[in-house]
A and B are shown apart, each in its own frame.
Chain A
Amino acid sequence: MAEISENIPEHCPGIESDAAGKSAACVGCPNKQICDAGKAKAPDPAIDEIKQRLNGVKHKIVILSGKGGVGKSTFTSHLAHGIADDDNKQVHQSGSGWSPIYVEDNLGVMSVGFLLSGPDDAVVWRGPKKNGMIKQFLRDVDWGELDYLIIDTPPGTSDEHLSVVQYLKAAGIDGTIIITTPQEVALLDVRKEITFCRKVQLNILGVVENMSGFICPKCKNSTDIFPATTGGAEKMCEEMDVNFLGRLPLDPRIGKWGRF
């Protein structure tokens, strides 16, 4: 497939759409010819390249959440550490490409954060550019032989999520874990996330309720900082017919742990 330019008009109907290349907005778009010929609709060759690259990865898990700030990245990091702690798992390095940064002997990490020049650097990118970066992370990083590849995502149901699902179509995703906090404002967005998973046929492994109660380190009493006013994640899981994986308490040590 010809390279698709990122400089697209505002009213782009989307390259997968039937109107691609034919709508009024397409006039003057650098991709008009590609879209018109139906080439953009053809599967991206990167999907197969990614399959090749991830051949040695046994399990691929995507971490999602509806709302921001519910602890996705913290949970993902914990989960990765937890899996890597199991001594039976081994990671071998082979091939070439971008090398992930190894925080432990058997735990490699790749993030846009490594490509920034400082903590204040903002990645001010629109969708197509973000998709390009995700493609590179999956295709060009030398993941080698892995037992688990855990993919952390931003909140929402947009470019990043669609791209991950699309690029891993051939390689296959084991499923997704959805993170939420107990209050209804967070659950509202989780319901939308579940709808998204069903629409793109992403297997939901289950829902984790994070920040569920706070156990005082001194008196051991539990307080609900984010009260589950509508029954929390467990009740929502029943209603939506998905697995409830469990609760994680708010622990002040986690906040400190995230400060390197």
Chain B
Amino acid sequence: ETKDSIQKKQRVMDSDEILSKEDAHTKFGRYVYAIGDNEQAAYLSGIHVKKYKTLVYTYAGFLAALADVDIHGPNIPWIFGLHTTVFPTEEDRVTPVQSALGIKIASVGALGYDENTAFIWRGPMKLGVIKQFLSEVDWGDLDVLLIDTPPGTGDELMTVAEHIPDLDGCIVVTTPQALAVLDARKSISFARKFNIQVYGIVENMSDTKTQKMFGTGGGQRAAQELGQHFLGNVACDPSIVEMCNGKIENISVSVLPVSVIEALV
């Protein structure tokens, strides 16, 4: 067994301990035990291993956090239903707030300003704010910190790339149409320039069934051409819009391809 697969198994076992307290008597809990014990055997005995692994990784997510460095459109607090929350700030410390499922969140959009307030800032000002933000948020112990960025390869992204020296990698999200993929290719060039590992490309709003909206396959083609991993499609689903009004954590994890979570864990 490779070191990687042992680590993955270890992660399933860890979450399994947590689950043992909550779910020992459910089908879900028993399946997780089975998968943790022997993934292959669990698969052969008819357990949807991928599905349950995704769920477990989601549970394990309570050591995950989310930093929103989009200054002009900081929407993460709204998506998590935390837009009315004001983040506790002290002189040089910002405490992230926790979502319903315990994901720590910090965003420039939740510092107590009115929702119509626009941050009309040029590059140097943004650089200062993002640097301060990254250095002053008190994250505590985390497994994964996800950083949401604005579109493009400008000031915000350069600041993140330059000031987090041990950045593990990035995930590039695109929609299927050629116009969106064209910009995604630039993000990958950016990552190469800054020596950031690209975990892969996710194709969001992908319409594999009817092919009528934005089509499908653009992200996959780009991944092939650029020699990157394709992490999967996320369906174009109106119910996701509803979920983005503060109920994102009700979303069924099955909309996210397992490969995205596996790339990180």
A residues at B contact (CB < 8 Å): 8-12, 14, 66-69, 73-74, 119-128, 130, 154-159, 161-162, 183-185, 188-189, 191-196, 199-200, 214, 216-217, 223-227, 229-230, 240, 250, 252, 255-256, 258-259
Nearest residue in A to B131 (C-beta to C-beta)?
Answer: A10
Listed by A's residue number, 12 A-B pairs whose Cβ atoms lie within 8 Å are: A68-B73, A156-B150, A158-B72, A158-B126, A158-B155, A161-B120, A185-B79, A192-B72, A225-B236, A227-B242, A229-B245, A255-B179
User: In the complex, which residues of chain B have a beta carbon less than 8 angstroms from the beta carbon of A121?
Assistant: 186, 189
Q: Does B152 lie within 8 Å of A154, measured CB to CB?
A: yes
User: In the complex, which residues of chain B have a beta carbon less than 8 angstroms from the beta carbon of A73?
Assistant: 179
User: In the complex, which residues of chain B have a beta carbon less than 8 angstroms from the beta carbon of A230?
Assistant: 245
Q: Does B115 lie within 8 Å of A196, measured CB to CB?
A: no
Binds A, one of B8-16, B88-96, B207-215: B207-215
Q: Does B220 contact A (CB under 8 A)?
A: no
Q: Does B122 lie within 8 Å of A159, measured CB to CB?
A: yes
Q: Does B242 lie within 8 Å of A229, measured CB to CB?
A: yes
Given contacts A10-B128, A184-B244, A227-B242, 8 further A-B contacts (CB under 8 A): A122-B186, A126-B158, A130-B154, A158-B121, A188-B73, A192-B117, A196-B118, A227-B238
Given contacts A124-B190, A130-B154, A154-B152, contact A194 B116 (CB under 8 A): yes
User: In the complex, which residues of chain A have a beta carbon less than 8 angstroms from the beta carbon of B123?
Assistant: 126-128, 130, 158-159
Q: Does A157 lie within 8 Å of B119, measured CB to CB?
A: yes
With both chains docked as a complex, state the minimum distance between the C-beta of A153 and any C-beta of chain B, in angstroms. Answer: 12
With both chains docked as a complex, state the minimum distance between the C-beta of B198 and any C-beta of chain A, in angstroms. Answer: 13
Q: Does B44 contact A (CB under 8 A)?
A: no
Q: Does B107 contact A (CB under 8 A)?
A: no
Given contacts A10-B128, A119-B182, contact A158 B73 (CB under 8 A): no
Q: Does A125 lie within 8 Å of B118, measured CB to CB?
A: no
Q: Does B72 lie within 8 Å of A183, measured CB to CB?
A: no
With both chains docked as a complex, state the minimum distance between the C-beta of B20 and any C-beta of chain A, in angstroms. Answer: 37
Nearest residue in A to B127 (C-beta to C-beta)?
Answer: A10
C-alpha gap A224/B239 in the complex (Å): 10
User: In the complex, which residues of chain A have a beta carbon less than 8 angstroms from the beta carbon of B118?
Assistant: 157, 192-193, 195-196, 199
Q: Does B105 contact A (CB under 8 A)?
A: no
Nearest residue in B to A131 (C-beta to C-beta)?
Answer: B122
With both chains docked as a complex, state the minimum distance between the C-beta of A240 and any C-beta of chain B, in angstroms. Answer: 8
Q: Does B193 contact A (CB under 8 A)?
A: yes
C-alpha gap A88/B16 in the complex (Å): 72
User: In the complex, which residues of chain A have a beta carbon less than 8 angstroms from the beta carbon of B6?
Assistant: none
Q: Does A259 lie within 8 Å of B185, measured CB to CB?
A: no
User: In the complex, which residues of chain B have a beta carbon less than 8 angstroms from the beta carbon of A126?
Assistant: 123-124, 127, 154-155, 158
Q: Does B259 contact A (CB under 8 A)?
A: no
Q: Does B99 contact A (CB under 8 A)?
A: no
Q: Mark B77-121, 1 if CB is under 8 A from A, else 0.
A: 011000000000000000000000000000000000001111111
Q: Does B226 lie within 8 Å of A14, measured CB to CB?
A: no
User: In the complex, which residues of chain B have a beta carbon less than 8 angstroms from the beta carbon of A252?
Assistant: 211-215
C-alpha gap A130/B153 in the complex (Å): 11
Nearest residue in B to A199 (C-beta to C-beta)?
Answer: B120
C-alpha gap A256/B78 in the complex (Å): 32
Give the residue of B122, B190, B241 whose beta carbon is less than 8 angstroms from that of A127. Answer: B122
